[in-house]
Amino acid sequence: MLIGRSSNYKIQRERKTVSSGQHEQSTTKLSEINRTLHKIIQELDSLSLQVSSEKELEKQVLSD
């Protein structure tokens, strides 16, 4: 049996400067989730869905 180990990572938010639209000189600074972190979250979600579907399949096989 494998024992999970907790890991912590610090990933900075992406900072962007975007024009406000009407005036060329007015800008807004935005902070959003890092693209790499977004991909990591999507992959972890897909892995967790696979695990839950495997557990459901196992329960179904055992009940049959």
| 13 band by pLDDT with thresholds 50, 70 and 90 | confident
Is the pLDDT score of 17 beyond 80? yes
What are the pLDDT digits (tens) for 23-55? 667 888 888 888 888 898 898 888 777 777 777
pLDDT at 20: 74
- The string of DSSP codes covering the chain is -PPP-------PPEEEEEE-SS-SS-EEEEEE--HHHHHHHHHHHHHHHHHHHHHHHHHHHHH-
Report which residue type is found at 60. Answer: Q
- Looking at per-residue pLDDT, the higher value among 21 and 2 belongs to 21
Residues in Cβ contact with 19 at an 8 Å cutoff, skipping those fewer than 6 apart:
26, 27, 28
